[in-house]
Chain A
Amino acid sequence: MTRKHLTLPTDDPIWLKLLLGTLAVGFVGLMLILPLALVFQEALSDGLSSAWIAITTPNALAAIHLSLIAAAIAVPLNTIFGISTAWAVAKFDFPGKAILVSLIDLPFSVSPVIAGLAYVLIFGMRGWLGPTLAGFDIQILFALPGIVLATMFVTFPFVARELIPLMTDQGRDEEEAAVSLGASGLMTFVRVTLPNIKWGLLYGVLLCNARALGEFGAVSILSGHIQGRTNTMPLHISLLYENYDFVGAFAVAALLALLALVTLILKSLLEWRYADALAAIHRH
């Protein structure tokens, strides 16, 4: 006796699955993986040693150093701002909340170049604060503070955007329970809020970090492009490229890509390692 194969109402026909699957894999392969692989191939086209030399020149090392420092300042600050913003939006009602939520996305919608120019208007020698700060011998433009500011502007939404839906979804019940059980505000945050958001937070921080290392537009305006002093990795890459040093450009680019890949792998590893804990939290 043969029985007709029953299909679920949500089960799509096989041809559609194949088509969509091929499309997704093909797109990712062609548009994301292939170019990235070519970067590595180009970097190593003259052998490993010339690539190594290219990323260990003093200017390249200075650029790597500067990028890492800028990220090391901007990412923690944006993590704090992101958590505060998400907390305020998710757990409290206040006038202007809807506007705040849309404003968080501003760095996504405004070109980074515009952000860079805006900071020039504020901190430039003819800007609002520039002359005053110069009086105190504080330099923002063409120096580390400017680069950090630009990086922070661009990466602001990542942590907050990741946390707002998560914290809104979790509501206030657990915090209220903690407080009624005698926990202080800080203890409630450390023992209840933070553990509940740690995965989203980690993801947001990793994205924020990857974006911070890669930022070009806004930093380009504010850095002044002083080789060995205010050039970040992306700026250094673009400079080498414009000077026809292709192996050098691609070697540093490959290193930058590698840093991004490491964060991605780190995230996958953590997700895999803590899959049980994650599942337990989400099933709740």
Chain B
Amino acid sequence: MSLIVDSIIKRFGRFAALNGVSFTAPQGAFLSLLGPSGSGKTTLLRVLGGLDYANSGSVRFADLNWLDMPARSRNTGFVFQHYALFRHMTVAENIAFGLKVRPRRQRPGRADIRARVDQLLQLVQLSGMEGRYPSQLSGGQRQRVALARALAIEPRMLLLDEPFGALDAKVRKELRADLRRIHDHTGVTTIFVTHDQEEAFAVADLVAVMKDGRIEQYGTPGNVQHEPRKGFVQEFLAR
């Protein structure tokens, strides 16, 4: 039942954004992909979410050939750096979107959707904001909405692409703690992309340090922090 990523290669033209990435993580893990920009971490996340195709390699997750499934069937909650909220919908409509677009038979009833939205608003601490539009919210609030929207579909996997990158330090820390709390509450397998090592080590159970489309070191935060591999990882962590 774990996540097994095997030899993923992804090229953009001649440039190999992912150059043979392999790792495994137990179901329900909270994993951080850490690395400088251009190291391939976002591309890896997009491949897992089905927003980009891998040229070769395979992913097994929840006993499924993950890469053979189209993005819309993977049931992943994707959280973008710039929120990507539906700007013409209210907070409640944004959160309900993933439930409302389900085929009729799997679609919850109106009352159920409302209840679910209320529950999620509470979880991300935005109760009372359901009628607002994204433009009326602060950056931190927008990302909370995006998180609630991603969680609404009860995702198999939660993918976050530098979710706090556009926020100030104080809000980052709050949201980081909230994300950890939500993860422990829902138990959803979570992959979190960041270039901020403090953030990666503080929030995750497992950290993969990436460089040039490869994983340089992979382990628990304590493990990576205290025994960084010589060369790139040591230098990167010393920054």
Contact = CB atoms under 8 A, between A and B. Distances in A.
B72 A173 contact: no
B98 A182 contact: yes
Interface string A178-191: 11111110010001
Contacts of A178: 86, 97, 101
Contacts of A184: 72, 101
B77 interface: yes
Interface in A137-180: 173-174, 176-180
Contacts of B77: 180-181
B88 A177 contact: no
A19 B150 CA distance: 55
A173 B79 CA distance: 10
Contacts of A280: 87-88, 133, 135-136
Interface residues of A, number: 21
Q: Majority SS of interface residues in chain B?
A: mixed
A117 interface: no
B108 to A, nearest CB: 13
Given A174-B86, A277-B88, A182 B135 contact: no
A126 B170 CA distance: 76
Interface string B131-150: 00111100000000010011
Interface residues of B, number: 31
A173 B84 contact: yes
Contacts of B82: 173
Contacts of B84: 173-174, 176-177
B76 A180 contact: yes
Contacts of B135: 280-281, 283-284
Contacts of B50: 179-180
Interface string B74-113: 1111101010111110000000011001100000000000
Nearest to B51: A176
A41 interface: no
B77 to A, nearest CB: 7
A179 B80 contact: no
A192 interface: yes
A179 B72 contact: yes
A195 interface: yes
Interface string A187-206: 10001100110000000000
Nearest to B74: A180
A179 B73 CA distance: 9
Contacts of B73: 182
B71 interface: yes
A281 B136 CA distance: 10
A182 B77 CA distance: 10
A196 B85 CA distance: 12
A273 B78 CA distance: 35
B153 interface: yes
Nearest to A170: B87
Interface string A241-284: 00000000000000000000000000000000000010011011
Instruction: Give the interface centre of B49, B85, B86, B149 by most chain A CB atoms within 10 Å.
Output: B86
Instruction: Give the interface centre of A181, A183, A191, A277 by most chain B CB atoms within 10 Å.
Output: A181
Nearest to A279: B135
A181 B97 contact: yes
Contacts of B49: 180
Contact of A180 (B71, B85, B86, B102): B71
Instruction: Give the interface centre of A177, A184, A187 by most chain B CB atoms within 10 Å.
Output: A177
Contacts of A284: 87, 134-135
Contacts of B80: 173, 176-177
A182 B86 contact: no
A176 B102 CA distance: 16
The 10 closest A-B pairs by CB, nearest first: A181-B98, A173-B84, A180-B78, A183-B101, A283-B135, A284-B87, A177-B84, A195-B88, A284-B135, A280-B133
12 contacts: A173-B82, A178-B86, A178-B97, A179-B51, A179-B71, A181-B150, A181-B153, A182-B102, A182-B153, A191-B101, A277-B88, A281-B135
Interface of A: 173-174, 176-184, 187, 191-192, 195-196, 277, 280-281, 283-284
Given A182-B72, A182-B153, 10 more contacts: A176-B80, A178-B86, A180-B71, A180-B77, A182-B101, A183-B101, A195-B86, A196-B87, A281-B135, A284-B87
